[in-house]
Structures are given as structure tokens and as C-alpha cells.
Amino acid sequence: MNKYDDIINLPHWEPKSHSRMSMENRSSQFAPFAALTGYKEEIMETGRFVDRKIELSDDEKNFINEKLLLIEKNIQNKPHVLITYFQKDKLKQGGIYLQEENKVRRIDLYNQNIIMIDNKKIMINDILEIDLLK
């Protein structure tokens, strides 16, 4: 005979004054102390990849300028374009390349940007490629 035979098959004791703690709350009480607030976020930010901006040759810049002139000539028709452009990252050096398919409302030469029909602005110097669509 074992010394615990009299209690081994008894039901688990449940308190009547309060309900059982959820597993999530129970596990959170054992979570490690976060001594360095924001450290995890800083590590994640450092590990995030960004692209470097591609510097265009003079021929590539001239080709984009020719397309912009063609768009400017047809601006009353709101030309439909696909633009690949560089967007600078707000937190670190570099950024990402995005594509915008939209109609052009106007080209603002003073501020050096293209204004789309939905008021989105794309800097001319950030354009990598521009295609006229039908």
C-alpha cells in the first residue's frame, strides 16, 4: 500500500470564492521582466531591409524626360501611366521601389513632381521608369 492511495483518485480541488485563472493570464505572470523597453523593436528595425536608390544614367534621365513631355502634351486627356519610383524610408537610409498605376492630373515643374488624379504626388527625381498605358 502506497501512502497516497487514499487521495490519488480524488477530484482536483476548486475554490468556490473565485474562478480559475485563464492559461493566458497564468502564463503572463511568469513572463520575463522587460528591462530594456523598446529593445525588441530596435532589433526588428535594424534587421529590416531597405533598397538603395538606383542612380540613372543621363540617357535614362533623357528617356524619362521625353515621356514626361509626351504626358504634358496630352495632359487634357489625363494619361494613364505606370510609374516605378523610389520611396525614401522614414527611419533609415534607403527605401523601397513602388509602382503606381494611375492617371496623371498635372505635372508640377516648379515642385518637380507628378500629381495623380487622386492627388498622390511622385517626385520626378525618384522615378525609375514610366510607361504610358492605353
Cell numbers given for 122? 511622385
Q: Give the confidence band of 66 by pLDDT, cuts at 50, 70, 90.
A: very high
Contact criterion met (CB below 8 Å) for 84 and 99 = yes
Going by C-alpha positions, the residue among 16, 94, 90, 86 that lies closest to residue 50 is: 94
pLDDT exceeds cutoff 70 at 35: no
pLDDT exceeds cutoff 70 at 34: no
* CB-count exposure of residue 53 (10 Å: 0-12, 13-18, 19+): middle
pTM above 0.85, yes or no: no
Task: Give residue 48's pLDDT.
Answer: 75
